Chains A and B, each alone.
Chain A
């Protein structure tokens, strides 16, 4: 075995002690803190999604509320024939609805109003049978206003969202252009610092951070987080959004039935995670640098008495100093 000088051994001992201590403390910090950061990220994703749901529902509620006075009027006996001016006023002035129509208990449309610039002729839409429409059926069975998923409108021929409510036997349905809803949702999602996707209850794309990408045209039901949301289960810890793996959280909109999924960056893309890792690495290198700087000095200081003894021991032979 190679014999080291005492000074070298002392330098190594002091430097290694510092290094090992730094590694142990750093590993402890990483072991404890990193999972905490990941949990915090998931909680933040969930919180962000919940806030988006609340904001969206607040504004959606505003659109829905425009139909409520109409429902009160429609509930009056014999009011059906006098509702047309109110419908026309609502589509012209409200700006929210592409079309509003009123159906009787048999599902036949009795009054229709179309937004200005619409191709259709309202008179040709009278008598349309809505009885097989999913939204019509859902409204009939609900005491509350009901929102649809994205659907093909018989009135406009375009993809739309419908909101319906009933007053007695009378059903009132308002159709909102998908772009109007997308604009509202995107106004909120743009304010969040995290990627967001909003899907209807069939996991079809409504809005989010992937506009213009092919992913807006796929059905998301097979993604683990969305699958969990549809099944009412806890989401997996991560999901892939915008090509990156993120800590996921979702919230369901009770009013709309839509899924709001948010991803908070995971791993080194997460600032808290990254800062912690960088802090530990810098601490480690700092400890090594300080150790390497101080160890020789400290070793020299420790060896001074021994060196003194050694030089005194050499005096009888005439080799003092």
Chain B
């Protein structure tokens, strides 16, 4: 067959003119139901990171597209969402945000060969595993140790714990790790009361059981809404003890939903809202402008998780994404520099904060 050079030249020109295929990145979180505040804040952080990378020309000239999926806080939907993202051709998934969801999602993603980078899963059961699951936040044991030290230092010795079974992987881990750390310091856990978020068990009953143990502090391992309800019930029942919470609850919704009820609420978290570094201030302004809200802790960690993943993709070469993620650090986060260890777990700086005048203020 006679070749026609002009035809090849034309085809080459047309191919060169076609816009490059977007690089698809998945995002998986609960965007409906009781955890929607966390999911939305995380999604927003990831969107801003993708925007920032696209503004710099994308990854190897390809624009990045974020495919967002809602896991509806259900195991079935989680599996379907991961499989759908894989079918859509994502290179990695940012998420999930809850440890209980990770229990379902990680094995599925592992089987599909998909890297997952979670902004906020901290449960110890995922630590020290050589798999495709990466975590940007410190493990629960790091957080609980820091929190236990802070509570012991402020004079608390007898703490009663209420924890939510709807996110059991996270909450039982938190309870156990905190107990261990607090008892090592010389403190005592005087009661543990479980409840399930969104079910008929009244908050008043939970708080009554906590109060009966005569604690000098209450630890609530719950989401923002349940934390607010439990604190209000505690105050209604005359319990004036300091209340301690967990990062899961430390969303911006907590401040809005809690009002004056949550004044003095103490939580250890890896987010400093008072950070005045130019990098974080620019992020906060962009976030406010785009979403008309304040960023939360998971907005920051989602941004960091997404930037790290895209940075690794940029540097990937012939490596797998897992290798690239492990080799591309340390990463410059919005508030601090951080890195993955060889198992894909990160260690971040933690801040002890307290709600004062409707704001989280760093106390340590």
Contacts and interface: CB of A to CB of B under 8 A. Distances in A.
Closest 7 CB pairs of A and B: A129-B259, A217-B68, A132-B259, A154-B257, A157-B34, A131-B259, A129-B261
Interface string B170-211: 000000000000000000000000000111101110000000
A157 to B, nearest CB: 5
Interface in A65-99: none
Interface in A116-158: 119, 121, 123-124, 127-134, 152, 154, 157-158
Contacts of A204: 40
Given A119-B200, A214-B67, A219-B291, A158 B260 contact: no
A152 B44 contact: no
16 contacts: A107-B259, A119-B198, A124-B233, A127-B232, A130-B259, A132-B256, A152-B37, A152-B224, A154-B229, A217-B68, A218-B43, A218-B68, A219-B43, A219-B44, A219-B290, A222-B51
A50 interface: no
A43 interface: no
Contacts of A158: 32-34
Nearest to B200: A119
Most chain B Cβ neighbours within 10 Å, of A119, A134, A204, A219: A219
B225 A157 contact: yes
B242 interface: no
B32 A202 contact: no
Contacts of B32: 158-159
A107 B256 CA distance: 12
Contacts of B33: 157-159
A238 interface: no
A56 interface: no
A219 B31 CA distance: 12
A286 to B, nearest CB: 33
Contacts of B358: 132
A119 B199 contact: yes
B202 A121 contact: yes
Contacts of A123: 204
Contacts of A121: 202, 204
Nearest to B263: A129
Given A121-B204, A222-B51, 20 more contacts: A124-B204, A124-B233, A127-B232, A128-B232, A128-B259, A129-B261, A131-B259, A132-B255, A132-B258, A133-B257, A152-B225, A157-B34, A157-B198, A158-B34, A202-B293, A217-B43, A217-B68, A219-B47, A221-B290, A221-B291
A221 B288 CA distance: 12
B232 A201 contact: no
Question: How many interface residues does chain A have, given as a range?
Answer: 20 to 34
B145 to A, nearest CB: 31
Interface of A is mostly: loop
Question: How many interface residues does chain B have, given as a range?
Answer: 35 or more
Given A129-B259, A131-B259, A214 B68 contact: yes
A179 B225 CA distance: 21
Interface in B223-252: 224-226, 228-229, 232-233, 236
A152 B257 contact: yes
A270 B255 CA distance: 50
B44 to A, nearest CB: 7
Contacts of A159: 32-33, 36
Contacts of B37: 152
Contacts of A201: 292
A131 B44 CA distance: 26
Contacts of A218: 43, 47, 66, 68
A134 B292 contact: no
A124 B234 CA distance: 11
B193 to A, nearest CB: 16
Interface string A281-313: 000000000000000000000000000000000
Contact of A134 (B31, B224, B229, B256): B256
A201 B291 CA distance: 10
B253 interface: yes
Contacts of A107: 259
Interface string A254-266: 0000000000000
A232 to B, nearest CB: 15
Interface in A13-46: none
Given A159-B32, A221-B290, A154 B228 contact: yes
Contacts of B236: 127
